[in-house]
Chain A
């Protein structure tokens, strides 16, 4: 057993003793009841289980939770799908997913939302030229599987959020 403490969506959790081989996915879903993070394959292939890990330097990445032990997240700060909306207001990306009918069954949505949000934050720190945007979105989302949608509306939703605030996310062109 290992003692685990971490921050989830801005709230401290722990210390709590967990088995060393307990997956982060089961920690969230079984121990905390946070089932917004999904279980899809258990092999880090579909990424419906992906969450956001915030590094101390202000950067963020996504991480699968199905193959990662919970103890790997000790001392870390993470965000899950339950934490995107603030004060009852949806984030721009959540609203864009709805407006675009981006998802169907919705089981992959948490993973796409987290990946898209990390992309937005990365572009806010390091904008890309407009001509690189499509490939940037494609590269960012490609690890995520969706069986319903064909991905197009997810991509359109992410693109629209970026283009709606292009000064923030894109390098200005002459």
Chain B
């Protein structure tokens, strides 16, 4: 039970609307024709020459790549003219919304269409459950949250739109009446995670979420926060049992035991904006028909979750009345100009679709400007965390930990419950703690909606924890790194949900690296203060999950007779280098970098005929066992590009497809060329063969070039293409397929192959083992570790902080594209610095929901805020040559945050317990 980390997306069909997700076609008629390289059109692939990214040329030549680059006349078959829409949002959530001052848009500024809540009723839209709440606040109601939309204004001409948007910006266009106070809404989710370890590490736990399931207290509608007591009236029995253990842990921490150091501290983190550079944008065209027959709804979107976007739009119109109900929805997806989670399940796409359906026959573009992006974009949760830790003074071992988290979820539920779960189950970080009790609740507020964002609750929890750990080490007079080492979770230790990680746990190695680094070794020497500045050094070490616990992956690989490779993948390029990672992972099987890599391709897997049902995060084993009898059924088809799954999940199926091509295409071709009969023992030694410089090498045999092998495979009708699907629930699905007289086993659950130049044919699996549903009780089984050191210098007079030197060390298994991994580490560091020292948004009035926030007022890290020449990044080598890639894009932004707070304490003697620590706050404590 409990929410999935990322909402489950069903295969697309709603209310009789057919849905397709097609490839973004080429831009036509663009006046600067050279160098276009749209997603999937790798006209020139620098990676084939061993340098750069597959999207490199497109990005340095200004090619149309992003959703915001496209207008209707760029798209084949669309009308030539683009209309423009404005999404009007409420800037008050404590007074009744009474309407808009449309009188100011008279004459030439008059919108062609105004869409309000009344129109939604007329159309018959239904809001997808994930976005539950009024799409538009109706007049007479108090807005649910600051920034809640009230209307769409659509303008046929750009000039009219452009002038109107300026006329609306003074904050008085949306009008309000009587004061009501904020709308009261029940919390989004409350959970308790309690674990009591057995008397010895090798013995079973006394109690754990893995054993007993995840528990929630009874909802109490009249209380702002949950009642956590196990003795409260009508409390569910499973909750009461967990709570009984939890209260015992808290009682032990509260006991006045002289042998135990107990610290109880509060830490508050702030709301921030993902601040991806491309504001959200979409383009749509509804070719609506008169009468009862709906038309086609065409969409061009830039999101991290393409399947979800199409599914939600289909749901939106599933019960719409004619002529507003499309007969067919076709969505195309562009690169995104930054995501960081903020484009995963974004409600923005619903308004893009609505704009088109309400202005039939006219392509409509809806694009946020930056003010609107601040006002309406998904934010990071502000979290209040109260933590208690008990440490045996004699051994320096942590005995118990308890915490209470309250997350401000803002106006829509979004992923708030899921973020609460991830923050809660990750609250003990890298540590091995036998008694843990974490209570967490995500609450509604009238602030802008919070949801998915890089770090996903762990950023906040690790910051509170690592600052607390630093203080504990200080109280115990233990070296901070030695204290961490003494308490680090060993490889086979259990996390707080009761399961061990199933991937490498390299905390000791990372702690050793931190300890040996000159920044740490020289900390006392640099701490000498001068009259004008203070110097301090901080350390932190964290762990961050990757994967959502229910991830689908699709991949298709084709090998031409000339040896050219094409790859298709459903994941989205948001700067994470997924296309280049795919090329490299496939190259490990096929010996060459792909000539074409198509990302955000969601139209290439029909041959698998996949179907799904149920929720993979909540279904029981019996349901899964019954469903899997259909050889085309999988628990989830596709996942958003999020949760740091690009390398691990996004490339998995393409890698497995390439493995099939090698095993049943190139290897038989090689045997023929080497004149090795099937009966020869060497025929079964494909694992010994290796690729070197595009040639297949086998000891004692002539090297064979890929084009020669590919030509032979095509000529002989061997496998030259494969499509694969796989599913991960903290382990990969595994199935058997009848191929060429043998039972081929692989970490996939659906497969199609192409022989020679033939068509793809589905190979039905003969057996499958999906990861058991009990794995849904796991918090995470996939994790990566990262540690940071930082030395800061703080001017006494001004509080200005300079990062003098920093070092981050992390592990990520096999780095598919090391340059991209290092780049992500640099970017994560910068985002962490901004979070720790600069970025903040007031949660309610005065915050972004008012519509008057922009850069300049909101500060993010610039080059001058960072140690550009003094940041050292170390990526640990994989433990084995074939270690799978691990997600790392989130963990690399986390430890610098607590390390900075710890360094500030080292420099100033003051422990800050809230973020961000700005120069003015520093000046205040130094006064």
Contact = CB atoms under 8 A, between A and B. Distances in A.
Interface of A: 9, 19, 21-22, 26, 30, 32-43, 45-46, 48, 80-82, 84-85, 88, 90, 94, 97-101, 103-110, 113, 134, 138, 141-153, 155
Contact of B32 (A34, A48, A106, A152): A34
B575 interface: yes
12 contacts: A33-B30, A39-B68, A41-B855, A85-B35, A99-B51, A100-B819, A101-B819, A101-B823, A103-B59, A147-B275, A148-B824, A150-B866
Contacts of A144: 863
Contact of A105 (B278, B279, B830, B854): B278
A99 B599 CA distance: 21
A150 B829 contact: yes
B854 A82 contact: no
B827 A35 contact: no
Contact of A43 (B159, B817, B826, B855): B855
A98 B340 contact: no
Contacts of B338: 105, 107, 147-148
Interface in B47-67: 51-53, 55-66
B823 A104 contact: yes
A19 B830 contact: no
A105 B71 contact: no
Among A19, A46, A88, A153, chain B packs the most CB atoms within 10 A around the CB of: A46
Interface in B811-842: 817, 819-820, 822-831
Nearest to A99: B51
Interface of B: 30-32, 34-35, 46, 51-53, 55-66, 68-71, 73-74, 158-159, 162-163, 166, 274-279, 335-340, 369-371, 574-577, 817, 819-820, 822-831, 854-856, 860, 862-864, 866, 868-869, 871
A98 B52 contact: yes
Contacts of A107: 66, 276-278, 337-338
B736 to A, nearest CB: 39
Contacts of A94: 60-61
Among B277, B370, B829, chain A packs the most CB atoms within 10 A around the CB of: B277
Contact of B869 (A22, A42, A134, A142): A134
Contact of A85 (B34, B369, B855, B869): B34
Contact of B868 (A90, A110, A152): A152
A100 B274 CA distance: 25
A40 B830 CA distance: 19
Among B166, B278, B279, B817, chain A packs the most CB atoms within 10 A around the CB of: B278
A151 B337 contact: no
B158 A30 contact: yes
Given A97-B56, A109-B59, A151-B863, 11 more contacts: A35-B70, A39-B68, A90-B60, A141-B863, A144-B863, A147-B276, A148-B824, A149-B823, A150-B823, A150-B828, A150-B830
- Sorted from nearest, which 9 A-B pairs have the closest CB atoms? A36-B62, A105-B575, A150-B826, A104-B575, A107-B337, A106-B59, A81-B62, A45-B855, A98-B52
Contacts of B824: 104, 148
B159 A19 contact: yes
Given A41-B855, A147-B275, A109 B868 contact: no
A106 B334 CA distance: 13
Contact of A142 (B60, B70, B336, B863): B863
A138 B213 CA distance: 53
Contacts of A104: 575-577, 820, 823-824, 827
B69 to A, nearest CB: 4
Nearest to B61: A85
B277 A108 contact: yes
A97 to B, nearest CB: 5
B71 A33 contact: yes
Contact of A106 (B68, B337, B825): B337
B60 A34 contact: no
A146 B824 CA distance: 12
Contacts of B62: 34-37, 80-82, 110
Among A30, A107, A147, chain B packs the most CB atoms within 10 A around the CB of: A147
A46 B71 CA distance: 24
A147 to B, nearest CB: 5
Nearest to B832: A150
Contacts of A108: 277
Contacts of A41: 370, 854-856
Contacts of A33: 30-32, 71, 73-74
Contacts of A149: 823, 826-827, 830
A34 B31 contact: yes
